Amino acid sequence: MAVEFQASRTRENLMRAFAGESQARNRYTIAADAAKKQGLYSIQQVFLFTADQERAHAERYYGLLKNLSGTTIEISGGYPVDHFDDVVKLLKKAEHNEMEEADDVYQAFGNVAKEEGFLEAASAFFQIAEVEAVHGRRFRKLAELLEQNKYFECEGNGQWMCMNCGHIQSGKLVPPMCPVCRYERGYFIPVEIAPYLGFDFIKK
């Protein structure tokens, strides 16, 4: 059912997605400040890392609207208010929002775009949905480690990386400060989170 782009639901969904990604970027930037205030500098960096990926998603959706430059698109939608001081709660809410985008919102948007004949937009929705699922799993893992008091210690022999200098620390417990750069322990992140960030920094 091909339709004119300027009269399509896809046009509105792209703008909704652009608005949603833009808000997510700002929410994660604000959440990063909350993590910083609690001395969780590595989680601050993960929030900022994810925020920049949300910016890239927003740019992709906005780019697909380029042919409508100079016009205004009116949309309606619901967006979350996740303004908490508790970092675990921020992570859990972020996980929920990311999985909702991945499993529901962008699947529906992609299906509409495909039905209307906008295959590039459909592909963008489906591809970005996969990335949002990675974001959701990332936030879930971080929340679990904090809740279980396993972020800075473990029962066996764990590994952590200093996000400032890259030093890999092995043992049961993160030291009060990095032995290499002397930054405080809040800069360490468990190596097991690496796959959820999309890379592997495990010391071979």
What is residue 199's predicted lDDT score, i.e. its pLDDT?
67
Residue 179, domain member (yes or no): yes
CATH number for 188: 2.20.28.10
Residue 157, domain member (yes or no): yes
Going by the DSSP 8-state scheme, the letter that residue 174 receives in this structure is -
Residue 203, domain member (yes or no): no
Residues 125 and 192 in one domain: no
Residue 77, domain member (yes or no): yes
Distances (CA, A) of 2 to 11, 77, 128, 164, 175: 13, 25, 23, 52, 61
CATH number for 65: 1.20.1260.10
Looking at the structure of the chain, the number of domains it has is: 2
Tell me the H-state helices in the chain: 9-37, 41-63, 87-100, 106-116, 119-147, 194-197
The Cα 144–Cα 130 span in angstroms is 21
Residues 142 and 159 in one domain: no
What is residue 200's predicted lDDT score, i.e. its pLDDT?
59
Range(s) of the domain holding residue 175 = 153-197
Sorted by sequence, the CB contacts under 8 Å of residue 51 that are 6+ apart come out as: 24, 25, 26, 28, 29, 32
pLDDT tens string 48-104:
999 999 999 999 999 999 999 999 999 998 999 999 999 999 999 999 999 999 999
Residue 192, domain member (yes or no): yes
pLDDT per residue rounded down to tens, the chain (204 residues): 678 999 999 999 999 999 999 999 999 999 999 999 999 999 999 999 999 999 999 999 999 999 999 999 999 989 999 999 999 999 999 999 999 999 999 999 999 999 999 999 999 999 999 999 999 999 999 999 999 999 999 988 899 999 999 999 999 999 999 999 999 999 999 999 888 887 655 444
Residues 131 and 165 in one domain: no
Phi, psi of 148 (to 5 degrees): -90, 10
What is residue 152's predicted lDDT score, i.e. its pLDDT?
96
